């Protein structure tokens, strides 16, 4: 199987695509978004709210120019422009993963000092697949590994240890990531 066939196969595995909310989904109220209304393939949505990513007192990133990736069943992942990220603390890690929508991910660790390194706090797509070219070089961070806020609201992390979705007050689920949700 070649690379393109593998991508097509992976993209075809999903049974939910945002066309119909499943019966177990929480109905959104005024001002809320259901992750079950997000499309698959995912949508890229501009977001001008203030996003701050911190480690203790160190501001790793601050922007009002995020791109959110909104995909069925997952809270949005915020991607921050490289010009708004303090890359002095980031070091490329040895980790990488492949997303059937975005491509090959490069992971980044936070190096406070030689003795204090926090592995794989975020990732980026240096050569994304064509549909996701707008996020090329943008950084995404795990809200469970760093302190992330959106307009002053603390972000909760998506369940599980793989996905990097940001749960903010306006997002309702349930969310992919817990045991038994892999095919969502």
What whole-number distance in Å separates Cα of residue 182 and Cα of residue 108? 25
Q: Which fold has domain 3-19+30-172?
A: 2.170.150
What is d(CA 56, CA 147) in angstroms, rounded to the nearest whole number? 8
Residue 2 has pLDDT above 70, yes or no: no
Q: Which of 175, 116, 122, 169 is nearest to 145 (CA)?
A: 122
Separation of alpha carbons 145 and 107, rounded Å: 13
Residues with Cβ within 8 Å of residue 37, at least 6 apart in sequence: 18, 21, 28
Instruction: Record the tokens describing residue 156, joined without a space.
Output: 């909760």
Q: What is the pLDDT of residues 20-73, one digit of tens each?
A: 999 999 999 999 999 999 999 999 999 999 999 999 999 999 999 999 999 999
Cβ-proximal residues to 118 (8 Å cutoff; 6+ apart), any chain: 55, 109, 110, 111, 112, 145, 146
CA dist., res. 58 & res. 65, Å (int): 20
Q: Which residue has the tokens 């959106």?
A: 150
User: Which of 43, 87, 77, 79 has its CA nearest to residue 63?
Assistant: 79
Task: Please tell me whether residue 11 adopts helix, strand or coil conformation.
Answer: helix
At 142-173, the pLDDT tens digits run: 999 999 999 999 999 999 888 999 999 999 99
């Amino acid at each position: 199987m070649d690379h393109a066939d593998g991508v097509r196969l992976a993209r075809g595995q999903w049974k939910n695509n945002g066309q119909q909310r499943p019966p177990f989904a929480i109905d959104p109220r005024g001002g809320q978004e259901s992750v079950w209304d997000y499309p698959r393939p995912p949508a890229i949505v501009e977001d001008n709210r203030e996003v701050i990513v911190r480690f203790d007192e160190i501001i790793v990133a601050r922007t009002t120019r995020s791109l959110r990736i909104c995909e069925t069943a997952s809270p949005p992942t915020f991607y921050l422009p490289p010009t708004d990220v303090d890359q002095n603390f980031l070091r490329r890690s040895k980790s990488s993963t492949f997303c059937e929508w975005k491509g090959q991910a490069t992971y980044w660790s936070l190096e406070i000092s030689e003795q204090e390194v926090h592995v794989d706090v975020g990732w980026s797509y240096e050569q994304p697949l064509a549909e996701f070219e707008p996020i090329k070089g943008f950084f995404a961070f795990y809200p469970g590994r760093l302190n992330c806020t959106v307009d002053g609201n603390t972000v909760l992390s998506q369940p599980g240890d793989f996905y990097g979705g940001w749960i903010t007050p306006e997002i309702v689920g349930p969310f992919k990531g817990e045991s038994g949700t892999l095919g969502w």
